[in-house]
Amino acid sequence: MKTCILFFALIFTFNSLSAQIVGCTDPLANNYNSAAEINDGSCTYNNASVSVSDSWILPAAMMETSGLIYFDNSIWTHNDDTDNNLYRINPDNVNDYQAYELTGAINSDMEDIAQDENYIYVGDFGNNVNGNRTDLHILRIEKNSLLNSAAQIDTIWFSYSLQSDFSATGSNNTDFDCEALIASSDSLYLFTKEWVSEKTSLYVLPKTPGTHIAGFRANLNVNGLITGAEYLEDKRLIVMSGYSSLVQPFIYLLYDFQSDNFFSANKRKISLNSAFHQVEGITTNDGLNYYISNEKLVQLITINQKLHTLNLSNYLEDYINSICDLPEQAGTINGNGSVCQGDENVLYQIEPILNANEYLWVLPNGVQGISSTNEILLNFESDAQSGEIIVSGINDCGEGESSSLYVEINQKPETPQIYFDGESLISNALEGNQWYNENGEIDGANMPTLNITEDAYYFCIVSINGCLSDTSNIEHVVLSWNDRFGSIREKVSIFPNPASENIYLQIIDNQFQSAKIEVLNLQSKTILSKIIVSDSERINITHLPVGFYILRIDFDNTIISFKFMVKR
């Protein structure tokens, strides 16, 4: 049985994979597969080289420039030994710069710099002397404090998960040197500089201060020494700098990967036509045009410290243009979180979503509304149910992350029925009553029973959980008769009361041509209705269950009511 289950599982997996074609998806590659839907990182490329566009000698203060970022419309760099300053350079004039001291920091071997929205990270993790440093760390610098020349600095200490031997290896003979650092939205990543194998290993760290173990992910043979990295997270692109053992610089591209599986991407190495330039840092402002820097090299020849510009459009423009930016996550939905069945044109809205062309609204059952903008008017039908209003931004790339608002939809109270028993008005609703007459709301009149002290037209509305019922039937109550007829109640009587088979209605000195009578139960439902033209009437009640009833008599819109009881 286990063999059968395994067999079918393998068949299912094969069928699932074969439903989509995997292969090289890069049109620039030798083995491009136009039918491929999933990139498997198998692309191969012809040898390529690129030349710098412009070069400038950096000031002597940056002789050992070792990392670059582009931040606040400026290029930022640092040296790799002793100097604890960050340098802010005007991209239009490298001699226009400012130094920002990292007070309290000690530069043992700062090799690269990275950034996220709120912080700059400087990696003091150069380890090429003997490969046995036990004080590897990354400085986390709050950006706003740095700009105010009062840098707030935390420290992220770490060790490598694969390093257990801390014996001295001698100069440039270790796998645990590092000169490249990137920051994602939730982690830091290190690319090692492996002197003997000329590979690079990927390690991951939390972004939070403290002591951590950098977790090994994978390694990649780059046939060179990696010295810097730039990460465009939204473009799924990493551009690394490096050089060979003969100090031949190169650019190494990783692109079209999923999540942080960086080495599963397209991998392309591009030679840089600047021999003996010890390239150390790389950054960009737009993903196509890059700044790179090299430190001063004094050997058989002297190469000054420089900043260069480099255009990679021929290699990346088509790819970047093919990458869509999904809409950002939707923000807070603003609107009433408690509504009533029957409410109409209730407004809900969110702040505009970055990169969204349209908005997708998902509504609870019984809620009606249509909108493709960041605002929607909703109608809550009589059967609407509580639930979440959900909204997300959409564009040609797809749908962004949604946000939601739970809305409590309260039931609309049933329409109350009222009747006059001769002295008081009575509502069949047990709670939430509010009585009105033609002059408006009657102050304090919110019980099921309302004592009547004046002639008027009366009605009732029920309010429960902030929801209003429809208006009840209207009762025209007349307490006194006019001078001509005297008190009408004195001219009308019903008997017997209680009764079992018949009840009799007697009108004395009848001045009306006819009258309408109705028998209602206490829920104000009409059971019997008829017109009488005589001054006496017998009403058969044998079909009525035992209980209380109301007899209403309408004399030309002048209504009186009597309560009677059926008893057997």
The confidence score (pLDDT) of residue 256 equals 94
CB contact at 8 A, 256 and 267: no
Do residues 64 and 312 make contact, with C-beta atoms less than 8 angstroms apart? no
> E strands, 162-198, where?
178-183, 187-192
Q: What is the mean pLDDT of residues 32-37?
A: 92
Of 61-70, 124-133, 326-335, 500-509, which gets the smallest average pLDDT?
Answer: 500-509
Burial class from Cβ neighbours inside 10 Å (0-12, 13-18, 19+) for residue 164 reads exposed
What is the average pLDDT across 279-305? Answer: 95
For 413, phi and psi rounded to 5 degrees? -60, 150
Nearest alpha carbon to residue 417 among 507, 523, 499:
523
* pLDDT score at 489: 64
SS3 14: helix
Q: Identify residue 379 by its one-letter amino acid code.
A: N
Q: Given a cut of 50, is residue 149 above it in pLDDT? A: yes
- Among 59-73, 291-305, 541-555, which is the least confidently predicted range? 541-555
Cα 297 to Cα 228, 275, 276: the distances in Å are 17, 11, 8
**Tens digit of each residue's pLDDT (9 = 90 or more) over 455-507:** 888 999 999 988 999 999 988 887 654 333 345 667 788 889 889 999 988 88
Q: Are 384 and 365 in contact (CB under 8 A)?
A: yes
Per-residue pLDDT tens for 121-147? 999 999 999 999 999 999 999 999 999
Average pLDDT over every residue of 444-459: 91
Helix (H, G, I), strand (E, B) or coil at 149: coil
Q: What does each C-alpha distance from 402 to 323, 324, 357, 394 come to in angstroms?
A: 21, 18, 15, 10
Tokens of 317: 């423009």
pLDDT for the residue 60: 97
* Residue with the larger pLDDT of the pair 59 and 500: 59
pLDDT at 61 over 60: yes
pLDDT at site 1: 43
- Give dist(CA 253, CA 272) in Å, integer: 13
* pTM of the predicted protein model: 0.61
Q: What is the pLDDT of residues 362-375, one digit of tens each?
A: 999 999 999 999 99
- Taking the C-alpha atoms of residue 428 and residue 425, their distance in angstroms, rounded to an integer, is 10
Q: What is the C-alpha to C-alpha distance for residues 307 and 305, in angstroms, rounded to an integer? A: 7
- Res. 13: pLDDT tops 50: no
The structural domains of the chain, ordered by start, are: 12-41 (no CATH), 47-322 (2.115.10), 338-410 (2.60.40.10), 418-477 (no CATH), 488-566 (2.60.40.3080)
Average pLDDT estimate for 325-347: 93
Calpha distance 16→9 (Å, rounded): 11
pLDDT at 480: 53
Mean pLDDT (the chain) is: 90
Q: What whole-number percentage of the chain has pLDDT above 90?
A: 72
Strands (E), 60-165: 65-71, 74-79, 85-90, 93-101, 110-115, 119-124, 137-142, 153-160
Residue 7, pLDDT above cutoff 50: no
What is the average per-residue pLDDT within 169-179? 97
Q: Encode pLDDT of 502-534 as tens digits.
A: 998 888 766 666 788 889 887 778 888 888 877
In the prediction, which pLDDT does 17 show?
A: 43
Report the distance separating Cα 444 and Cα 344, nearest Å. 29
- 277, 55 Cβ separation under 8 angstroms: no
pLDDT of amino acid 513 = 63
Selected residue with higher pLDDT from 424 and 305: 305
For residue 531, how far is the Cα from the chain centroid?
66
Cα(181)–Cα(174) distance, integer angstroms: 18
